[in-house]
């Protein structure tokens, strides 16, 4: 037995045993629900408890937890950065305010019940982050409080936080007497009227006023916001799409743009037709990926593709989303462009854009190292407060802020502040595992006296912190803001940072309403939870 305890107490052995068993436990699903990576903290708590019960005080070196925290927070900021700032422009205040209500009300309830039931705030902040199933919030709480008690609270509140959100979104349509089918119809109607989805359509030139005029003279792009990708004469001969290409009555063209843009094309040029335009043997339409660093942040118009390559960008795909190919659109590293050009210009176009998926998918650790150092410097800055004293963002806040801003900037000189999806996911997962393991071990040595002192009341407090924000968000969103119920549920799961909750909503509808709302508010909720956790830890 002594040999076994000694074996289990070795740093590297304990680390990998906990990670291995934690990942295995996290993959177990009960009715489609799993703990995922969060299972590691429960295994670590049990591991620490067993060793402590046998008289062994064991903790992993602090550097492991710190490295894990830095990697985890930085990669989250890098992933959330672009959408974090874009939401200000695209989603307005309603969905964001719902997420903020969920987080702030949860923090307020936490502070209230901690005072009423005389719970230490180090434990209470853990209950808050567990009730909202937010590991980044736990990271901020532990960094701010420098106490293992936060992880105990997290472990106690997390299971109900996970299950409570799922049960609520399933039952909420019945509680609030909402018909999901009707909400789906309303969402689709609103989506049709506001969509910016890109389509392609064929037209036959029937407007006599444009006969014999060039694309440049007609200012097709400026007038309609659509792009012409193909031209075919009545004799079936294709014509290169260039600024000086002349349009005649009876020509067939293919235009690409939003629904609104294509309606303008119909008004300007002629009627929609079902006649197909075959691809010319002289022309090729291919996807190209932006992998050259020196063209990142340049506008499409700045590349002069029509003049230099007789090329026409008809579509831009960014992070799986199709965007209109506006001349003013600034390119980002990894953007994919659908371009029509002559065969002779394919090679030159590839050289201009880079067109190397291998390079795009290669993870460089330079932006990770530099970004974390910048974040640590930002977090160390002392900000004077009125009446004396000072405030700093700390490790978590500084690294998160730096990652958000750098990912938005995109490029500084030759340094690309970019992590490919796979690389980001691997580093984030590694950081999370390295962070949760020592945190759980430290909590395992304190869990028995904590439960002995507070009993089952902590479980009830965690449930209260989960449930009240759920009802509050839906009541405000549904009764006062009059938001589509599917979007409310998406914003709710985003505000509670509950991916399993989102999966539960997805199973209720075929629309993208919940996913869109979740993606819009998640970055804001993430930042709000981290800030609230730091504030609660200082109370």
pLDDT of 222-272, one tens digit each? Answer: 888 888 888 889 888 888 787 788 999 999 998 888 888 899 999 999 999
Quick one: tokens of 173? Answer: 């349509």
Q: Is residue 84 in some structural domain?
A: yes
Q: How many domains does the structure of the chain reveal?
A: 3
pLDDT at residue number 439:
79
Quick one: tokens of 208? Answer: 């006599």
Do residues 37 and 180 share a domain?
A: yes
Provide mean pLDDT across the span 416-422.
78
Do residues 90 and 234 share a domain?
A: no
Is the per-residue pLDDT at 371 higher than 90?
Answer: yes
Do residues 460 and 533 share a domain?
A: yes
Is the per-residue pLDDT at 201 higher than 70?
Answer: yes
Q: Is residue 386 in some structural domain?
A: no
- How far apart are alpha carbons 122 and 9 in whole angstroms? 27
Which pTM was predicted? Answer: 0.65
Do residues 507 and 422 share a domain?
A: yes
Cα–Cα distance list, 50 to 35, 39, 44, 448, 500 (Å): 22, 17, 10, 11, 30
Do residues 216 and 260 share a domain?
A: yes
Do residues 174 and 62 share a domain?
A: yes
Coil, helix or strand at residue 482: coil
Q: Which residue has the tokens 């389509």?
A: 199
| Beta pairing, strands 390-391 & 283-289 | unpaired
The CB-side HSE value for 523 (13 A sphere, CA atoms) comes to 23
Q: How confident is the model at residue 531 (pLDDT cuts 50, 70, 90)?
A: confident
Is the per-residue pLDDT at 92 higher than 80?
Answer: no
Quick one: tokens of 11? Answer: 């740093």
Q: How confident is the model at residue 195 (pLDDT cuts 50, 70, 90)?
A: very low
Structural domain ending residue among the three candidates 254, 269, 284: 269
Do residues 311 and 259 share a domain?
A: no
Residues in the chain: 539
Q: Is residue 199 in some structural domain?
A: no
Do residues 110 and 60 share a domain?
A: yes
Do residues 304 and 246 share a domain?
A: no
| Beta pairing, strands 199-205 & 238-239 | unpaired
More confident residue, 536 or 9: 536
Coil, helix or strand at residue 56: coil
Do residues 434 and 530 share a domain?
A: yes
Structural domain ending residue among the three candidates 238, 269, 300: 269
Do residues 110 and 253 share a domain?
A: no
- How far apart are alpha carbons 106 and 111 in whole angstroms? 9
| β strands within 258-403, DSSP E | 270-272, 283-289, 312-318, 321-323, 336-342, 383-384, 390-391
- How far apart are alpha carbons 291 and 358 in whole angstroms? 9
Q: Give residue-wise pLDDT tens across range 112-127.
A: 998 888 888 888 998 9
Coil, helix or strand at residue 203: strand
Q: Is residue 250 in some structural domain?
A: yes
Is 381 within 8 Å of 393 (Cβ atoms)?
Answer: yes
Q: Is residue 466 in some structural domain?
A: yes
pLDDT at residue number 87:
55
More confident residue, 214 or 447: 214
Q: Is residue 5 in some structural domain?
A: yes
Q: What is the span of the domain harbouring residue 480?
A: 1-187+393-537
Q: Is residue 363 in some structural domain?
A: no
CATH number where 259 lies: 3.30.70.1450
- How far apart are alpha carbons 534 and 376 in whole angstroms? 16
Do residues 149 and 33 share a domain?
A: yes
Q: Is residue 383 in some structural domain?
A: no
CA atoms 184, 189, 194, 199: torsion sign: positive
pLDDT at residue number 160:
82
Q: What is the DSSP string of 136-178?
A: HHHHHHHHHH--THHHHHHHHHHHHHHHHHHHHHHHHHHHTT-
């Amino acid at each position: 037995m002594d040999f076994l305890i000694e074996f289990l107490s070795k740093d590297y052995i304990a680390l990998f045993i906990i990670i291995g068993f934690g990942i295995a436990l996290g993959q177990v699903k009960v009715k489609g629900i799993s703990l995922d990576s969060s299972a590691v903290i429960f295994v670590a708590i049990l591991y620490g408890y067993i060793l402590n019960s046998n008289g062994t005080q064991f903790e992993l070196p602090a550097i492991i937890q710190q490295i894990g925290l830095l990697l985890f927070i930085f990669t989250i900021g890098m992933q959330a950065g672009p959408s974090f700032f874009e939401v200000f422009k695209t989603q307005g205040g309603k969905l964001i305010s719902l997420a903020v209500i969920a987080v702030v009300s949860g923090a307020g309830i936490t502070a209230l019940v901690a005072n009423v039931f005389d719970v230490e705030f180090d434990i209470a902040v853990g209950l808050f982050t567990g009730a909202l199933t937010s590991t980044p919030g736990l990271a901020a709480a532990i960094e701010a409080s420098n106490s293992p008690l936060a992880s105990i609270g997290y472990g106690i509140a997390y299971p109900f936080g996970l299950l409570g959100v799922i049960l609520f979104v399933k039952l909420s349509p019945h509680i609030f007497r909402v018909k999901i089918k009707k909400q789906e119809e309303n969402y689709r109607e609103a989506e049709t009227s506001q969509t910016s989805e890109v389509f392609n359509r064929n037209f036959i030139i029937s407007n006599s006023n444009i006969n014999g005029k060039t694309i440049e003279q007609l200012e097709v792009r400026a007038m309609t916001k659509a792009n012409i990708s193909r031209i075919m004469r009545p004799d079936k001969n294709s014509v290169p799409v260039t600024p000086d290409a002349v349009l005649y009555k009876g020509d067939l063209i293919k235009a690409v743009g939003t629904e609104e843009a294509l309606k303008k094309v119909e008004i300007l040029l002629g009627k929609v037709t079902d006649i197909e335009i075959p691809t010319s043997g002289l022309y090729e339409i291919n996807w190209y990926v932006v992998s050259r660093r020196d063209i990142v942040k340049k506008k499409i118009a700045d590349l002069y593709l029509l003049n230099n390559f007789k090329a026409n960008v008809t579509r831009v795909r960014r992070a799986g989303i199709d965007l209109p190919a506006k001349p003013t659109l600034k390119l980002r590293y990894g953007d994919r462009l659908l371009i029509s050009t002559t065969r002779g210009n394919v090679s030159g176009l590839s050289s201009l854009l880079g067109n190397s998926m291998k390079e795009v998918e290669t993870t460089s650790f330079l932006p990770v190292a530099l970004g974390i150092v910048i974040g640590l410097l930002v977090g160390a800055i002392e900000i004077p407060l009125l009446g004396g004293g000072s405030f700093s963002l700390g490790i978590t806040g500084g690294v998160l802020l730096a990652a958000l801003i750098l990912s938005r900037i995109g490029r500084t000189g030759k340094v690309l502040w970019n992590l490919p999806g796979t690389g980001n996911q691997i580093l984030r997962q590694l950081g999370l595992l390295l962070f949760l393991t020592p945190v759980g071990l430290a909590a395992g040595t304190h869990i028995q006296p904590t439960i002995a002192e507070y009993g089952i009341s902590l479980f009830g407090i965690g449930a209260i912190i989960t449930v009240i924000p759920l009802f509050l968000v839906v009541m405000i969103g549904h009764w006062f803001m009059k938001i589509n119920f599917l979007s409310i549920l998406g914003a709710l799961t985003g505000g509670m940072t509950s991916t399993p909750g989102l999966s539960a909503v997805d199973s209720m509808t075929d629309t993208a309403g919940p996913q869109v709302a979740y993606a819009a508010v998640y970055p804001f909720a993430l930042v709000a939870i981290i800030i609230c956790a730091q504030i609660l830890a200082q109370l």
